Amino acid sequence: MVFSIQFNGNDLSTQMNNAEVPIKKTGMHNLFFIACDPKLKGTVMSGKTVWKNPDGYLPGRMAPLMTFYVYMAIAYLLLSAIWFSQYMRFWEDILQLQHCIAAVIGLGLFEMILWYLDYSNFNKTGMRPVVTTAWVVTVGAIKKTLSRLLILSVSMGYGVVRPTLGGLTSKVLLIGATYFVASELLDITEHVGTINYVSGRARLFLGLPDAFLDAFLILWIFTSLSKTLEQLQAKRISVKLDIYRKFSNALAVAVIASVAWITYEIYFKATDPFNERWQSAWIITAFWDILSFALLCVICYLWAPSQSSQRYAYSEDVGEEFDDEEAQSLTRGQSNGYVSLVKQEQKNGNAAISDEEDESEEDKRE
């Protein structure tokens, strides 16, 4: 459909009447403003366009995410109900690590609810307030940062192999702050505003710092996890070792899935600069939320609050304590044996004395 606009005589401005265009076919639709006369080069235009789908103002590539966030909020709600019921039941045995897990679960639920409210408001009004979206993005960045720091702390053996992170605390906080800033900038650029179709190549460029930090964190996590496993094997703490082996397997599967999906995402964005595959674009965002939730469920399963939670806690030289107990039991056995041996010797000595006395009496009688 073409709408012609003309300048009358020597007029330097003109006005276009409001027009409503019915869309009868699903697809990617574009609006172009073209100056046919070379003399009109540099023309300035002001105004706004309003786009609406049958279900609301939400763009077609974003509409499936609103439903997705509802399901994710329900999933987080169920996980929260299970976790916090056990959390309150065994409050006295809760570990510091389990407090961190509870915080990540709460932030995850809060984030999903905020995303749904942001999308729902956009769908109803056609407006997306910058402050609201920036707040949602900030909560999401905090949750992603804490999730990664939680996995890093678990891999370092925090609360299990070591009571604190010690000198590594400042480094962990520094990488966390850096990741938060990079994630915040990327998400604000992509989400804040009514609608911003950032090209695939631009999104790829903005995502490089975030991807680099993720790669660095993965390397650090597996290096720390390897050291923790070595310590547990050296101390022969089978219960903790079994948990960490399961955790390392789950983490390895998550990393393999992440690398495969990143490869697909780079291909998807690089080959679709004009969002022509808009109907399936929501899956790119949804995958990371699903993967994060799945890994959180694994952590919740492995470190679930229970009466025996304290057996996973850090204790000073557990393996050596076990050896000391064995040594003490052996020492007790040896001391008892020694005492009984002395008593036996004393008995034998007394018997020998009595025999000598009897013999002397017999000699006297003879």
Nearest Cα to Cα of residue 4 among 12, 13, 16: 16
Domains and CATH numbers, the chain: 62-306 (1.20.1070)
Phi (first) and psi of residue 158, to 5 degrees: -60, 125
pLDDT at 338: 39
pLDDT in tens, the chain (366 residues): 888 887 777 778 888 888 888 888 888 888 888 877 787 778 888 888 888 888 889 888 888 999 999 999 999 999 999 988 888 887 777 777 788 889 999 999 999 999 999 999 999 988 888 888 888 999 999 999 998 888 888 888 776 666 666 677 788 888 889 999 888 888 888 777 655 555 556 666 767 888 888 888 888 888 888 888 888 788 777 777 888 888 889 999 999 998 899 889 888 878 877 778 888 888 988 999 999 999 999 989 888 887 765 555 555 544 433 333 333 333 334 444 433 434 444 444 454 444 444 544 445 444
Virtual CA dihedral for 327, 328, 334, 336, nearest 10 degrees?
-170
pLDDT at 78: 95
Give the CA distances from residue 99 to residues 87, 201, 292, 293, 335, in Å, rounded to whole numbers and listed in that order.
9, 40, 18, 17, 47
Residue type, 291: L
DSSP string, 242-290: HHHHHHHHHHHHHHHHHHHHHHHHHHHHHT-TT-TTGGGTHHHHHHHHH
pLDDT at 344: 44
Q: Copy the structure tokens of residue 241.
A: 């070792």
Beta bridge partners of 53: 56
What is the rounded distance in angstroms from the CA atom of residue 314 to the CA atom of residue 296? 22
pLDDT at 5: 82
pTM, two decimal places: 0.75
pLDDT at 162: 66
DSSP string, 201-247: HHHHHHTHHHHHHHHHHHHHHHHHHHHHHHHHHHHT-HHHHHHHHHH
Helix then strand then coil, in percent of the chain rounded to 5, is 70, 0, 30
pLDDT at 81: 93
Residue type, 161: V
Which residue bears the tokens 């990143």? 262
pLDDT at 274: 75
pLDDT at 82: 92
The Cβ-side half-sphere exposure at 57, using a 13 Å CA radius, reads 16
